[in-house]
Amino acid sequence: SKTIYLKDYRAPDYLIDETHLTFELFEDHTLVHAQLVMRRNPELSAELPVLSLDGQQLELLRITLDDRELTAADYQLSDSHLTLQPTQASFVIDSTVRIHPESNTALEGLYKSSGMFCTQCEAEGFRKITYYLDRPDVMSKFTTTVSGDKQKYPILLSNGNPIASGSEEGGRHWATWEDPFKKPAYLFALVAGDLWCVEDKFTTLSSREVTLRIYVEPENIDKVQHAMDSLKKSMKWDEEVYGREYDLDIFMIVAVNDFNMGAMENKGLNIFNSSCVLARAETATDAAHQRVEAVVAHEYFHNWSGNRVTCRDWFQLSLKEGFTVFRDAEFSADMNSRTVKRIEDVAYLRTHQFAEDAGPMAHPVRPDAYMEISNFYTLTIYEKGSEVLRMIHTLLGNQAFRKGSDLYFERHDGQAVTCDDFVKAMEDASGIDLTQFKRWYTQAGTPRLAVSEAFDATARTYTLNFTQSCPATPGQSDKLPFVIPVELGLLDARGNDLPLRLQGEAAASGTSRVLSVTEAQQSFTFVDIAEQPLPSLLRGFSAPVKLSFPYDRDQLMFLMQHDSDGFNRWEAGQQLSVQVLQELIGQQQRGEALVLDQRLVTALRSLLQDGRLDQAMVAEMLSLPGEAYLTEISEVADVEAIHGAREFARQQLAEALFEPLWQRYQANREVSKGTPYVAEAEHFARRSLQNIALSYLMLTGKPEVLAATLEQYEACDNMTERLTALAVLVNSPFEAERGKALEAFAEHFKDNALVMDQWFSVQAASTLPGGLQRVQALMQHPAFTLKNPNKVRALIGAFAGQNLVNFHLADGSGYRFLADQVITLNALNPQIASRLLAPLTRWRKYAAARQALMKAELERILASGELSADVYEVVSKSLA
Ligand code: GLU
Ligand code: ZN
């Protein structure tokens, strides 16, 4: 496979002003006619170089240049390109190709899912549809005609507005769509199927009426209201917060069952994984409801951050993704609990993105090389990219950030631009120099920030010393200092925030400040500090770094109670838990008796007993750091010790806190019983505390807890309570009850694919012994198929990613199993195969015996035959 470098970027030789497509859909093939109105790029010389169109897996039937039929002597064909020599600066190419969506299992380009035709063109899927300049800086006006069997495919959709339709002989019909906005091919979409829709309206800022439609298979029509509500909220929020209005007369979302990612922002016609659209109380959890809201918002927000202004090349992917994730995170924070949203995002980032940043695939937010761009739809591009945007927001403040965003959209509307262009707009609007800040785009790796303190009682000064560093990552051994915004406060002995005055300032201002750490070593001195304060550092997680400060456990307990920053109260609890768990891990490794520090019990008891606290916060604080996070922060991860220590702590907490947990559980369950399901923050909060309490309580194995679990399982009216009860049973020693519940669940929901995904996941994640055998048996279940990415993720992905003790079985059988699946999937769906691989690439985290077993499986994959570029890149880089 070939590596592509950012430094090799060149503007396109030719442009495509207009693209006219006609699709004739049949059961055993599809014909694609493309008329491309092209011209030499006027920015370049007048010479006419060879034109090289991208095209893969296309059967060329006919091609003309300005109405002249070309013969094989006029062009060259390879498995990835069609090249020919234009003779004039402006010309029209007409081509007809035959493709096979009906056998497309890679789910890239045009494919069939549950009997409907749909597309996924980002990043490079359009070249599997027709010969084209498949690059984001070639933007064109599209007209699309779709023709198909009227009965099988009554609904025919593409981007933009419908302009004509009609019937054909042979029971066929057609529809033509026109998209008035120029767009790159990756935003093209087509859908044909037997779909129903829910329709609504939205009136924009400037009083234009927009038709909103969500298309689903008929049996799912009762599960779209939540997505529609989310869409309307998103449209309003983007007008209010960013001044962005929708620009077509119609906005459509289509749900499909087989989809590699979450969803896709095609202009005017978003295509979604059904798991990110369908939600109703009986079938979707609270988390699923929140994900639907977030993904609907994310894709909608792309209409500006991605579509109106797009990426020049795929190295700039975070330009649209980092920005849009930041936008959707702020939207979710405004719709629900801001602190809880931040806690969830940070926990996710630190567990998964930090691991990626420390692994063989580490890359900067703006990478400078790739083999297969599909491998770069990563946590770094999305989540760290969003953190970079958040830091710009923090450094500029809300007003200047908005000015910068307005300038960016105004300056670049209709263009394909770079991350530098974005930062430039932010600089120009704010007057703030972001030159050094831009290292966040170019340097990979998670910076470390070590902080120490010095209090001088006589001078009444308090100094914080910061030392930053960043570990080497592939291709980058030395890093320059980052700009790290550190939001902080200083607490006095009663827990109040002190007024903050830095040396050299005339007066104190504020009690929470943002310091910019820009040097490798840097100190800040606060004056007028009468007593030794306790610092609250990196409030709201103001930068994606690993911060260390030598807090002792009593200080962490103090911060848990008093910090005015909600995020840092949670963070203090996490740090306390990490210290306690690491102590237990050490005891386990030395073969000593495990002894839980009672301070953790005391701290959690006081949270449980305080009825005034936000219940969602209490639930978050009761959640111990996960095994994957404990792995990430270990030098050498000891799988059994991590699992053993964490389970021991949970067991001890369950027993010591039985009374308050039982009380909170019963009180909340009572309210849940008497309240119809509502997908709102306060209700999420109640159920989350209720459910985490139940999962602790079951560890005691008391009969009244079993009875309560069965009652909740059977009598609840929503999937959040039902699935928790099922998960609790699945992880319990009550074998008969577990079997009965699993069977009843599958019987009841066997026709609902998304619910069955959860049924698979709950079992895949069970840490009881025999996990691999259970997963292998479940692969034989009639509801399972390797062809559906959601199923693969729900069963195999959940097993390898979440069930660490079972996946990392010392005999290597988990690794062998995963490698087998990767080898099979490599031929079916390279993107999914490559993503499934991630756990094996982390072999450096483990002791020698496991390293050898994991590497052997990677080598076996490498030797297994013809590998897709996707799998080859990840395997070869992780063995390098
Ligand atoms: N652009 C999509 C999104 O993040 C994902 C790309 C894909 O599906 O390949 O919204
Ligand atoms: Zn996106």
List the beta strands (DSSP E) in 461-500: 461-469, 484-491
SS3 334: helix
DSSP label at residue 383: I
Report the nearest atom of ligand 1 relative to the CA of 261: 8
Which residue's CA is minimally distant from atom 3 of ligand 1?
264
pLDDT value, residue 132: 99
Which residues have CB under 6 Å of ligand 1? Answer: 120, 122, 261, 263-265, 298-299, 321, 377
**Helix, strand, coil distribution of the chain in percent, nearest 5:** 45, 20, 35
Q: What's the average model confidence in pLDDT over 96-109?
A: 98
Closest C-alpha to ligand 1, atom 5: 264
Model confidence pLDDT, tens digit, residues 709-750: 999 999 999 999 999 999 999 999 999 999 999 999 999 999
Name the average pLDDT for the chain: 98
Q: What is the mean pLDDT of residues 94-102?
A: 99
Q: What is the pLDDT of residues 425-435, one digit of tens each?
A: 999 999 999 99
| Type of residue numbered 37 | V
Cα atoms found within 13 Å of the Cα of residue 61, Cβ hemisphere only: 11
Whether the predicted pLDDT of 1 surpasses 90: no
- Pick the residue whose CA is nearest to atom 10 on ligand 1: 264
At 754, the pLDDT band (50, 70, 90 cuts) reads very high
CA separation for the pair 716, 710 (Å, rounded): 10
Which residue, by CA, sits nearest to atom 9 of ligand 1? 122
List pLDDT tens digits, range 417-459. 999 999 999 999 999 999 999 999 999 999 999 999 999 999 9
**Does the pLDDT at position 175 exceed 80?**
yes
Ligand lying closest to the C-alpha of residue 296: 1
Whether 99 and 57 have beta carbons less than 8 Å apart is answered as yes
Task: Report the SS3 class of residue 61.
Answer: strand
Closest atom of ligand 1 relative to the 260 alpha carbon? 8
**5 Cα: distance to centroid of ligand 1 (angstroms):** 22
Q: What distance in angstroms lies between residue 262's CA and the mean position of ligand 1's atoms?
A: 7
Q: 20: part of which helix (H) or strand (E)? A: strand 14-25
Half-sphere exposure of 652 (CA within 13 A, CB side): 20
Q: Whose CA is nearest to atom 2 of ligand 1?
A: 264
Between CA 358 and CA 381 the distance in angstroms is 15
- By most ligand atoms within 8 Å of CB, the mutation choice from 188, 261, 316 for ligand 1 is 261
Res 441: pLDDT = 99
In tens, the pLDDT along 190-207 reads: 999 999 999 999 999 999
Q: Annotated active-site positions, please?
A: 299
Please report which ligand is nearest the Cα atom of 263.
Answer: 1
Between the CA of 30 and the centroid of ligand 1 the distance, in Å, is: 25
Q: Whose atoms come closest to the Cα of 319: which ligand?
A: 2
Residue 103 has pLDDT above 90, yes or no: yes
Nearest to 107 by CA among 867, 781, 875, 792: 792
10 Å CB burial of residue 439 (0-12, 13-18, 19+) is: middle
The pLDDT value given to residue 358: 98
Identify the band that residue 695 occupies on the pLDDT scale cut at 50, 70 and 90: very high
Residue 598 confidence class, pLDDT cut points 50, 70, 90: very high
**pLDDT for 118 beyond 90:** yes
pLDDT digits (tens, 9 = 90+) for 534-590: 999 999 999 999 999 999 999 999 999 999 999 999 999 999 999 999 999 999 999
Considering the chain, what percentage of its residues have pLDDT values greater than 90? 100
pLDDT, one tens digit per residue, over 244-287 is 999 999 999 999 999 999 999 999 999 999 999 999 999 999 99
CA of 230 to the centre of ligand 2 (A): 16
Handedness of CA 127, 132, 137, 143 (dihedral sign): negative
* DSSP state letters, 822-872: HHHHHHH-HHHHHHHTHHHHTGGGS-HHHHHHHHHHHHHHHTSSPPPHHHH
0.90 surpassed by complex ipTM: yes
